[in-house]
Amino acid sequence: MRTLAGQFNLTVSPRTYQPCCKFRNRFRSVGHLKININKSIDLDELRKRNQGVKKGGFWTPHDCPPRSRVIIIVPHRNRWSHLIQWLAHYHPILQRQKLEYRIVVTEQVQRNLFNKGRLYNAAFLECERAFDFDCVIFHDVDMLLENDHNMYWCYNMTRPRHLSPAVDKFRYQLPYHILVGGVLAMTRHMFKRVNGFSNQFWGWGGEDDDMWGRLVAVNTTVDRPHPTIGRYTMIKHRTRKGERNFMLTYRLVLLATSGSRWSRDGLNDVRDYCKLTQVAHEPLFTHFVFDVGNQPRQKPRNT
């Protein structure tokens, strides 16, 4: 059996070494945050400001055992400027929340349309092989949290938490009831239970709506923070020409079949499509690069 000291590298007295969640005052959350979209963040300066972060973007509190060990997966393609703002914004928040966390950036190579579902699934499987964690957060690169009382952990084992119900782009209103896009937290176990995201959605959107169908198929839905807490600013950007309406009809067909397709389209077949081409343990994040394969010319498989 591992001892508490062995497990958490104990450097403080055992009497005060209680789980972080027992000490509300240790959270040091500040509530409402001023969003400063600063286009000229210097990466060296950012590294200096985050010297406690270990290579690969890993951090753990040293004065109390964390309640949750969290992996945050951030997919992108050609969005380095957003990613730097994302890192500058979230490292301090996650440390104030006293989480053990690792930031995992999953990048798509090539000029094909974006396939966020494949990037999430493939990165999750790599994390399973390499890291120890119990909670995973799927996070858009352009979403900046406005209130750090919105906790980045999984405290309900069976109900995922949609952390971003109030986004400035939608005037801080949930646009529709089944939306789980933006920022979604769930246990590692739950993500495997729903077989991850679909691999079949190309271009902008859809894979998150399909996730709702998967959750319903395993008899769950989501919790959400109060809209005054689950508030985000979305960094503005243009969707690439062709991304938004790619195979719109098939996307609708796919969505209509979520409930029957989920068990054979997801984590269990993503390796048929995705190849890991690069891994790097950068100072502020773990970096995976994937070749996600080619977008179909015709009707996608598995419909």
Instruction: Reply yes or no on whether 291 is catalytic.
Output: no
Instruction: Reply yes or no on whether 59 is catalytic.
Output: no
Taking CB under 6 A as the binding criterion, the range among 94-102, 203-211, 216-224, 238-246 that sits at the site for ligand BGC is 203-211
Taking CB under 6 A as the binding criterion, the range among 4-12, 121-129, 201-209, 211-219 that sits at the site for ligand BGC is 201-209
Marked catalytic residue, from 100, 142, 148, 209: 142
Say whether residue 181 binds ligand BGC (CB under 6 A): yes
Marked catalytic residue, from 107, 140, 210, 265: 140
Say whether residue 140 binds ligand BGC (CB under 6 A): no
Marked catalytic residue, from 32, 237, 244, 281: 237
Marked catalytic residue, from 234, 243, 269, 291: 234
Provide the residue type at 110 as one letter: Q
Query: Based on CB atoms, which residue is closest to ligand BGC, 65 or 181?
Result: 181
Query: Based on CB atoms, which residue is closest to ligand BGC, 63 or 243?
Result: 243
Query: Based on CB atoms, which residue is closest to ligand BGC, 195 or 198?
Result: 198
Say whether residue 209 binds ligand BGC (CB under 6 A): yes
Instruction: Reply yes or no on whether 32 is catalytic.
Output: no
Between β-strands 143-145 and 231-234, what pairing exists: parallel, antiparallel or unpaired? antiparallel
Q: Residue 245 CB, nearest distance to ligand BGC (Å)?
A: 11
Query: Based on CB atoms, which residue is closest to ligand BGC, 38 or 239?
Result: 239
Say whether residue 165 binds ligand BGC (CB under 6 A): no
Out of 56, 57, 206, 213, which residue is the one contacting ligand BGC (CB under 6 A)? 206
Interacting residues toward ligand BGC by CB under 6 A: 179, 181, 205-206, 208-209
Catalytic positions, please?
140, 142, 204, 207-208, 234, 237-238
